[in-house]
Amino acid sequence: MNSFIYIPDDSDFTIYNLPFGIFQKENYFAACTRIGDTVIDLYQCMSTSVFKDIHLEESVLCQRYLNDFIALGKPVTSKVRLILQDALLIGGFFDNDMFKGAGIFIPADDVNMVLPIQIGDYTDFYSSKEHATNVGIMFRDPANALLPNWLHLPVGYHGRASSIVPSGVPIRRPSGQTMADGSVKPDFGPTKQLDFELEMGFVIGKNTEMGQSISTAQAEDYIFGLMLFNDWSARDIQRWEYVPLGPFLAKNFASTISPWIVTLEALELFKIPGPLQEPEVLPYLTYKGPKNYDIHLSVDIVTEQGHEKRVSTSNFKYMYWNMCQQLAHHTVNGCNVRIGDLMASGTISGPTSDSYGSMLEICWKGTKPVQMPDGTERKFINDGDTVSMRGWCEKDDIRIGFGPCDAQVKR
Protein backbone atom coordinates (compact mmCIF):
# COMPACT_ATOMS: atom_id res chain seq x y z
CA MET A 1 0.00 0.00 0.00
CA ASN A 2 1.47 3.37 -0.99
CA SER A 3 0.12 6.75 -0.02
CA PHE A 4 0.34 9.90 -2.09
CA ILE A 5 1.48 11.61 1.12
CA TYR A 6 5.22 11.51 1.80
CA ILE A 7 6.18 9.18 4.65
CA PRO A 8 9.77 9.29 5.96
CA ASP A 9 11.45 5.85 6.18
CA ASP A 10 11.57 5.78 9.96
CA SER A 11 8.07 7.20 10.46
CA ASP A 12 5.78 5.70 13.10
CA PHE A 13 2.85 6.89 11.04
CA THR A 14 2.67 4.69 7.96
CA ILE A 15 -0.45 3.87 5.99
CA TYR A 16 -0.72 0.71 8.14
CA ASN A 17 -1.05 2.62 11.39
CA LEU A 18 -3.57 5.49 11.29
CA PRO A 19 -3.96 5.95 15.05
CA PHE A 20 -6.51 8.31 16.59
CA GLY A 21 -5.79 11.44 18.59
CA ILE A 22 -7.05 14.93 19.41
CA PHE A 23 -5.17 17.99 18.24
CA GLN A 24 -5.46 21.56 19.38
CA LYS A 25 -4.87 24.65 17.31
CA GLU A 26 -5.67 27.77 19.32
CA ASN A 27 -9.21 27.20 20.63
CA TYR A 28 -10.06 24.51 18.13
CA PHE A 29 -9.96 20.81 19.06
CA ALA A 30 -10.62 17.98 16.61
CA ALA A 31 -10.26 14.25 16.24
CA CYS A 32 -7.43 13.37 13.92
CA THR A 33 -5.16 10.74 12.52
CA ARG A 34 -1.64 11.09 11.16
CA ILE A 35 0.29 9.82 8.18
CA GLY A 36 3.96 10.67 7.79
CA ASP A 37 4.33 14.23 9.06
CA THR A 38 0.77 15.16 8.12
CA VAL A 39 -2.11 15.33 10.60
CA ILE A 40 -5.55 14.73 9.12
CA ASP A 41 -8.42 16.66 10.66
CA LEU A 42 -11.35 14.21 10.79
CA TYR A 43 -13.89 16.94 11.48
CA GLN A 44 -12.82 18.76 8.32
CA CYS A 45 -13.12 15.46 6.45
CA MET A 46 -16.87 15.71 7.09
CA SER A 47 -17.02 18.59 4.57
CA THR A 48 -16.24 15.95 1.93
CA SER A 49 -18.18 12.78 1.11
CA VAL A 50 -15.39 10.46 2.23
CA PHE A 51 -17.48 8.96 5.07
CA LYS A 52 -20.74 8.84 3.11
CA ASP A 53 -21.12 5.07 3.60
CA ILE A 54 -21.17 5.18 7.40
CA HIS A 55 -23.40 6.94 9.86
CA LEU A 56 -21.03 9.33 11.60
CA GLU A 57 -22.24 12.26 13.69
CA GLU A 58 -19.85 15.09 12.94
CA SER A 59 -20.28 16.45 16.48
CA VAL A 60 -18.19 13.55 17.88
CA LEU A 61 -15.24 14.71 15.78
CA CYS A 62 -14.90 18.25 17.12
CA GLN A 63 -14.77 17.56 20.84
CA ARG A 64 -12.08 17.90 23.44
CA TYR A 65 -11.86 14.11 23.83
CA LEU A 66 -12.34 10.97 21.73
CA ASN A 67 -14.70 9.27 24.24
CA ASP A 68 -17.88 9.90 22.24
CA PHE A 69 -16.17 8.81 19.03
CA ILE A 70 -14.95 5.60 20.69
CA ALA A 71 -18.50 5.05 22.03
CA LEU A 72 -19.74 4.68 18.44
CA GLY A 73 -18.21 1.21 18.67
CA LYS A 74 -15.62 -0.68 16.70
CA PRO A 75 -17.93 -1.40 13.76
CA VAL A 76 -17.88 2.40 13.13
CA THR A 77 -14.40 3.39 14.29
CA SER A 78 -12.72 0.49 12.45
CA LYS A 79 -14.60 1.47 9.32
CA VAL A 80 -13.45 5.09 9.67
CA ARG A 81 -9.85 3.89 9.82
CA LEU A 82 -10.23 1.59 6.81
CA ILE A 83 -11.94 4.30 4.77
CA LEU A 84 -9.11 6.71 5.57
CA GLN A 85 -6.53 4.08 4.66
CA ASP A 86 -8.16 3.62 1.29
CA ALA A 87 -8.66 7.35 0.72
CA LEU A 88 -4.97 8.07 1.39
CA LEU A 89 -3.65 5.61 -1.21
CA ILE A 90 -2.28 6.79 -4.53
CA GLY A 91 -5.39 7.25 -6.64
CA GLY A 92 -7.60 7.20 -3.49
CA PHE A 93 -10.38 9.64 -2.61
CA PHE A 94 -8.07 12.32 -1.17
CA ASP A 95 -5.50 12.07 -3.98
CA ASN A 96 -7.08 15.05 -5.66
CA ASP A 97 -5.89 18.65 -5.96
CA MET A 98 -9.28 19.93 -4.80
CA PHE A 99 -8.50 18.80 -1.23
CA LYS A 100 -5.21 20.68 -1.01
CA GLY A 101 -5.64 23.76 1.14
CA ALA A 102 -9.07 22.56 2.34
CA GLY A 103 -7.89 22.43 5.96
CA ILE A 104 -7.93 18.64 6.04
CA PHE A 105 -4.16 18.13 5.87
CA ILE A 106 -2.07 19.96 8.46
CA PRO A 107 1.71 19.80 9.04
CA ALA A 108 2.24 17.89 12.30
CA ASP A 109 4.50 20.68 13.59
CA ASP A 110 1.62 23.17 13.38
CA VAL A 111 -0.61 21.45 15.93
CA ASN A 112 -0.45 20.55 19.59
CA MET A 113 -1.41 16.98 20.45
CA VAL A 114 -3.44 16.88 23.67
CA LEU A 115 -4.73 14.18 25.99
CA PRO A 116 -6.96 12.18 23.63
CA ILE A 117 -9.34 10.66 26.16
CA GLN A 118 -11.13 11.76 29.27
CA ILE A 119 -9.75 9.11 31.58
CA GLY A 120 -12.29 7.94 34.13
CA ASP A 121 -10.33 5.36 36.05
CA TYR A 122 -6.75 4.27 35.78
CA THR A 123 -5.53 0.83 36.86
CA ASP A 124 -1.89 -0.16 36.98
CA PHE A 125 -0.89 -3.81 36.76
CA TYR A 126 2.40 -5.43 37.70
CA SER A 127 2.55 -8.02 34.95
CA SER A 128 6.21 -8.34 33.97
CA LYS A 129 7.71 -11.37 35.67
CA GLU A 130 11.22 -10.04 35.16
CA HIS A 131 10.32 -6.71 36.81
CA ALA A 132 8.49 -8.32 39.74
CA THR A 133 11.40 -10.73 40.21
CA ASN A 134 14.01 -7.94 40.11
CA VAL A 135 12.10 -5.89 42.68
CA GLY A 136 11.63 -8.98 44.84
CA ILE A 137 15.36 -9.74 44.75
CA MET A 138 16.33 -6.17 45.60
CA PHE A 139 13.84 -5.52 48.38
CA ARG A 140 12.80 -8.89 49.78
CA ASP A 141 14.30 -12.31 49.38
CA PRO A 142 16.27 -13.51 46.32
CA ALA A 143 15.18 -17.08 47.08
CA ASN A 144 11.49 -16.12 47.08
CA ALA A 145 11.49 -13.07 44.80
CA LEU A 146 7.91 -13.50 43.60
CA LEU A 147 5.16 -13.33 46.21
CA PRO A 148 2.95 -16.46 46.34
CA ASN A 149 0.01 -14.86 44.50
CA TRP A 150 2.04 -13.51 41.56
CA LEU A 151 1.91 -16.56 39.27
CA HIS A 152 -1.81 -17.04 39.93
CA LEU A 153 -3.27 -13.61 39.20
CA PRO A 154 -2.32 -10.36 37.44
CA VAL A 155 -1.49 -8.17 40.45
CA GLY A 156 -2.70 -4.57 40.12
CA TYR A 157 -3.87 -1.49 42.02
CA HIS A 158 -6.14 1.46 41.33
CA GLY A 159 -4.14 4.51 40.32
CA ARG A 160 -4.90 8.19 39.83
CA ALA A 161 -6.38 9.43 36.53
CA SER A 162 -6.28 13.19 37.20
CA SER A 163 -2.51 13.51 36.82
CA ILE A 164 -2.10 11.65 33.53
CA VAL A 165 -0.73 14.09 30.96
CA PRO A 166 0.28 13.84 27.30
CA SER A 167 3.82 13.78 25.96
CA GLY A 168 5.55 17.17 26.16
CA VAL A 169 4.04 18.34 29.46
CA PRO A 170 6.85 18.94 32.01
CA ILE A 171 6.78 16.97 35.27
CA ARG A 172 7.44 18.69 38.57
CA ARG A 173 9.67 16.80 40.98
CA PRO A 174 7.38 15.79 43.83
CA SER A 175 8.06 16.32 47.53
CA GLY A 176 7.05 13.90 50.22
CA GLN A 177 7.97 11.91 53.29
CA THR A 178 10.95 9.63 53.22
CA MET A 179 12.64 7.50 55.85
CA ALA A 180 16.39 7.12 55.54
CA ASP A 181 17.94 3.77 56.45
CA GLY A 182 18.79 3.74 60.16
CA SER A 183 16.80 6.90 60.87
CA VAL A 184 14.09 7.00 63.52
CA LYS A 185 11.95 9.79 62.11
CA PRO A 186 10.93 10.71 58.58
CA ASP A 187 12.22 13.62 56.50
CA PHE A 188 10.22 15.83 54.16
CA GLY A 189 11.51 17.24 50.88
CA PRO A 190 11.86 16.77 47.12
CA THR A 191 12.31 13.13 46.14
CA LYS A 192 15.94 12.12 45.59
CA GLN A 193 14.94 9.01 43.66
CA LEU A 194 12.69 10.09 40.80
CA ASP A 195 12.27 7.20 38.39
CA PHE A 196 10.39 6.31 35.23
CA GLU A 197 8.47 3.12 34.58
CA LEU A 198 8.37 1.89 30.98
CA GLU A 199 4.81 0.66 30.43
CA MET A 200 2.12 0.33 27.80
CA GLY A 201 -1.45 1.41 28.47
CA PHE A 202 -4.68 0.27 26.87
CA VAL A 203 -7.89 2.24 26.51
CA ILE A 204 -11.29 0.72 27.27
CA GLY A 205 -13.56 1.06 24.24
CA LYS A 206 -16.85 -0.36 25.53
CA ASN A 207 -18.80 -0.05 28.78
CA THR A 208 -19.88 -2.89 31.02
CA GLU A 209 -22.57 -2.93 33.69
CA MET A 210 -21.77 -3.57 37.33
CA GLY A 211 -21.97 -7.30 37.90
CA GLN A 212 -20.83 -8.13 34.38
CA SER A 213 -17.51 -9.83 33.70
CA ILE A 214 -15.41 -9.79 30.54
CA SER A 215 -13.95 -13.15 29.52
CA THR A 216 -10.50 -13.44 27.98
CA ALA A 217 -12.26 -14.35 24.71
CA GLN A 218 -14.35 -11.15 24.80
CA ALA A 219 -11.59 -8.86 26.05
CA GLU A 220 -10.27 -7.62 22.69
CA ASP A 221 -13.72 -6.29 21.90
CA TYR A 222 -13.39 -4.00 24.93
CA ILE A 223 -9.89 -2.71 24.11
CA PHE A 224 -9.88 0.27 21.76
CA GLY A 225 -6.14 0.67 21.44
CA LEU A 226 -2.75 1.14 23.05
CA MET A 227 -0.37 3.94 23.96
CA LEU A 228 3.03 4.32 25.61
CA PHE A 229 2.90 5.02 29.31
CA ASN A 230 5.53 6.39 31.68
CA ASP A 231 4.39 5.79 35.24
CA TRP A 232 6.63 8.28 37.08
CA SER A 233 7.63 6.99 40.51
CA ALA A 234 9.42 8.43 43.54
CA ARG A 235 11.23 5.43 44.97
CA ASP A 236 12.24 6.91 48.33
CA ILE A 237 8.67 8.07 49.01
CA GLN A 238 7.36 4.72 47.80
CA ARG A 239 9.56 2.69 50.12
CA TRP A 240 8.31 4.51 53.23
CA GLU A 241 4.62 4.73 52.38
CA TYR A 242 3.71 1.52 50.56
CA VAL A 243 3.19 -0.80 53.53
CA PRO A 244 0.45 -1.96 54.11
CA LEU A 245 -1.84 -0.63 51.36
CA GLY A 246 0.49 -0.16 48.39
CA PRO A 247 1.59 2.82 46.27
CA PHE A 248 0.09 6.25 46.97
CA LEU A 249 1.88 9.63 46.70
CA ALA A 250 4.98 8.02 45.16
CA LYS A 251 2.92 7.32 42.05
CA ASN A 252 -0.04 9.67 41.83
CA PHE A 253 1.78 12.94 41.02
CA ALA A 254 2.21 12.27 37.28
CA SER A 255 2.07 9.76 34.45
CA THR A 256 2.95 10.60 30.84
CA ILE A 257 1.24 9.02 27.82
CA SER A 258 1.90 9.17 24.10
CA PRO A 259 -0.97 11.14 22.53
CA TRP A 260 -1.85 8.68 19.74
CA ILE A 261 -4.05 5.66 20.37
CA VAL A 262 -2.84 2.87 18.11
CA THR A 263 -5.80 0.58 17.40
CA LEU A 264 -5.84 -3.16 18.06
CA GLU A 265 -6.61 -3.57 14.36
CA ALA A 266 -3.32 -1.90 13.41
CA LEU A 267 -1.48 -4.11 15.91
CA GLU A 268 -3.09 -7.38 14.77
CA LEU A 269 -0.15 -8.27 12.50
CA PHE A 270 2.26 -8.09 15.43
CA LYS A 271 0.52 -10.56 17.74
CA ILE A 272 2.73 -13.35 19.10
CA PRO A 273 2.41 -16.07 21.75
CA GLY A 274 3.23 -15.05 25.31
CA PRO A 275 5.51 -16.80 27.80
CA LEU A 276 4.47 -20.24 29.04
CA GLN A 277 2.40 -19.83 32.20
CA GLU A 278 3.41 -22.34 34.83
CA PRO A 279 1.69 -23.27 37.14
CA GLU A 280 -1.48 -23.54 35.10
CA VAL A 281 -3.82 -20.60 35.64
CA LEU A 282 -7.40 -20.84 36.90
CA PRO A 283 -10.00 -21.46 34.16
CA TYR A 284 -11.19 -17.80 33.97
CA LEU A 285 -7.61 -16.73 33.10
CA THR A 286 -7.06 -19.29 30.33
CA TYR A 287 -7.07 -17.99 26.77
CA LYS A 288 -6.74 -19.18 23.19
CA GLY A 289 -4.42 -17.92 20.48
CA PRO A 290 -1.60 -15.38 20.62
CA LYS A 291 -2.37 -12.46 22.95
CA ASN A 292 1.02 -10.80 23.33
CA TYR A 293 2.35 -8.14 20.98
CA ASP A 294 5.82 -7.73 19.52
CA ILE A 295 6.33 -4.04 20.25
CA HIS A 296 9.92 -2.78 20.46
CA LEU A 297 10.42 -0.27 23.25
CA SER A 298 13.21 2.13 24.13
CA VAL A 299 13.98 4.68 26.83
CA ASP A 300 16.45 7.55 26.44
CA ILE A 301 17.55 10.10 29.00
CA VAL A 302 18.32 13.48 27.42
CA THR A 303 20.12 16.05 29.56
CA GLU A 304 19.16 19.72 29.56
CA GLN A 305 22.16 20.35 27.26
CA GLY A 306 20.94 17.70 24.83
CA HIS A 307 23.29 14.82 25.71
CA GLU A 308 21.41 11.63 25.06
CA LYS A 309 21.81 8.12 26.46
CA ARG A 310 19.72 5.04 25.65
CA VAL A 311 19.16 3.32 28.98
CA SER A 312 16.73 0.58 27.96
CA THR A 313 15.75 -1.46 24.93
CA SER A 314 12.83 -3.71 25.76
CA ASN A 315 9.74 -5.30 24.24
CA PHE A 316 6.07 -5.55 25.20
CA LYS A 317 6.19 -9.24 24.24
CA TYR A 318 7.86 -10.11 27.55
CA MET A 319 4.67 -9.52 29.54
CA TYR A 320 3.73 -12.61 31.54
CA TRP A 321 0.08 -11.62 31.94
CA ASN A 322 -1.53 -10.36 28.72
CA MET A 323 -4.13 -7.61 28.42
CA CYS A 324 -7.01 -10.09 27.97
CA GLN A 325 -6.12 -11.79 31.22
CA GLN A 326 -5.75 -8.43 32.96
CA LEU A 327 -9.20 -7.35 31.83
CA ALA A 328 -10.77 -10.72 32.68
CA HIS A 329 -9.26 -10.56 36.14
CA HIS A 330 -10.21 -6.90 36.66
CA THR A 331 -13.88 -7.64 35.94
CA VAL A 332 -14.25 -11.20 37.27
CA ASN A 333 -15.77 -9.81 40.47
CA GLY A 334 -18.29 -7.69 38.53
CA CYS A 335 -16.30 -4.44 38.60
CA ASN A 336 -17.58 -2.37 35.67
CA VAL A 337 -15.34 -0.61 33.16
CA ARG A 338 -16.13 2.55 31.22
CA ILE A 339 -15.08 3.99 27.89
CA GLY A 340 -11.89 5.98 28.42
CA ASP A 341 -10.65 3.96 31.38
CA LEU A 342 -6.94 3.34 31.12
CA MET A 343 -5.16 0.14 32.15
CA ALA A 344 -1.39 0.06 32.27
CA SER A 345 0.80 -2.99 32.04
CA GLY A 346 3.18 -2.32 34.87
CA THR A 347 6.89 -1.80 34.30
CA ILE A 348 8.05 -3.83 31.32
CA SER A 349 11.42 -5.45 31.94
CA GLY A 350 13.07 -7.98 29.67
CA PRO A 351 15.46 -10.77 30.65
CA THR A 352 18.73 -8.81 30.32
CA SER A 353 19.95 -5.76 32.22
CA ASP A 354 19.82 -3.58 29.08
CA SER A 355 16.09 -4.33 28.80
CA TYR A 356 15.00 -3.27 32.29
CA GLY A 357 12.14 -0.75 32.47
CA SER A 358 13.12 1.45 35.42
CA MET A 359 16.26 3.14 36.78
CA LEU A 360 15.75 1.18 39.99
CA GLU A 361 16.53 -2.01 38.07
CA ILE A 362 18.95 -0.58 35.45
CA CYS A 363 21.18 0.81 38.23
CA TRP A 364 20.33 -2.10 40.54
CA LYS A 365 19.36 -0.05 43.60
CA GLY A 366 22.05 2.54 42.84
CA THR A 367 24.98 0.10 42.67
CA LYS A 368 25.49 0.39 38.88
CA PRO A 369 25.10 4.04 37.84
CA VAL A 370 24.50 4.92 34.18
CA GLN A 371 27.36 6.89 32.59
CA MET A 372 26.07 9.82 30.55
CA PRO A 373 27.89 11.13 27.42
CA ASP A 374 28.75 14.40 29.22
CA GLY A 375 30.67 12.56 31.96
CA THR A 376 27.95 12.78 34.60
CA GLU A 377 26.19 9.73 35.95
CA ARG A 378 22.61 8.85 36.82
CA LYS A 379 21.10 6.58 39.39
CA PHE A 380 17.75 8.29 39.01
CA ILE A 381 16.38 11.23 36.97
CA ASN A 382 17.82 14.74 37.48
CA ASP A 383 16.06 18.07 37.16
CA GLY A 384 16.29 19.21 33.55
CA ASP A 385 16.47 15.65 32.21
CA THR A 386 13.94 14.53 29.62
CA VAL A 387 12.81 10.90 29.67
CA SER A 388 11.94 9.87 26.14
CA MET A 389 10.13 6.62 25.36
CA ARG A 390 9.44 5.11 21.97
CA GLY A 391 7.52 2.07 20.79
CA TRP A 392 7.34 0.53 17.33
CA CYS A 393 6.52 -2.70 15.49
CA GLU A 394 8.23 -4.01 12.39
CA LYS A 395 7.40 -7.03 10.25
CA ASP A 396 7.62 -7.82 6.53
CA ASP A 397 8.62 -4.20 5.72
CA ILE A 398 5.58 -2.93 7.59
CA ARG A 399 6.30 -0.50 10.39
CA ILE A 400 3.98 1.22 12.82
CA GLY A 401 4.79 3.20 15.95
CA PHE A 402 3.34 5.15 18.81
CA GLY A 403 4.94 8.59 18.47
CA PRO A 404 6.77 10.29 21.35
CA CYS A 405 6.20 9.77 25.07
CA ASP A 406 8.52 12.48 26.40
CA ALA A 407 8.60 14.63 29.51
CA GLN A 408 11.16 16.90 31.10
CA VAL A 409 11.60 17.01 34.85
CA LYS A 410 11.43 20.46 36.48
CA ARG A 411 12.32 21.42 39.99
Judged by the rule CB under 5 A, the positions of this chain that interact with Ca ion are 124, 197, 231
Nearer to Ca ion, 29 or 202 (CB): 202
Give the CB-nearest residue to Ca ion. 231
Closest separation in Å from C-beta 221 to Ca ion: 26
Name the minimum Å distance from CB 268 to Ca ion.
26
Of residues 55, 131, 296, 307, which has the active-site annotation?
Answer: 131
* CB nearer Ca ion, residue 105 or residue 157: 157
CB of 223 to Ca ion, least distance (A): 19
Q: Which is nearer to Ca ion, 197 or 361 (CB)?
A: 197
Nearer to Ca ion, 344 or 393 (CB): 344
| Cβ 232 to Ca ion shortest distance, Å | 9
Report how far residue 16's alpha carbon sits from residue 270's, in angstroms, rounded to the nearest whole number.
12
| Least Å from the CB of residue 347 to Ca ion | 6
Q: How many CB atoms lie within 10 A of CB 267?
A: 19
Is 131 known to be catalytic?
Answer: yes
Between 208 and 347, name the residue whose CB sits nearer to Ca ion.
347
The catalytic residue positions are 131
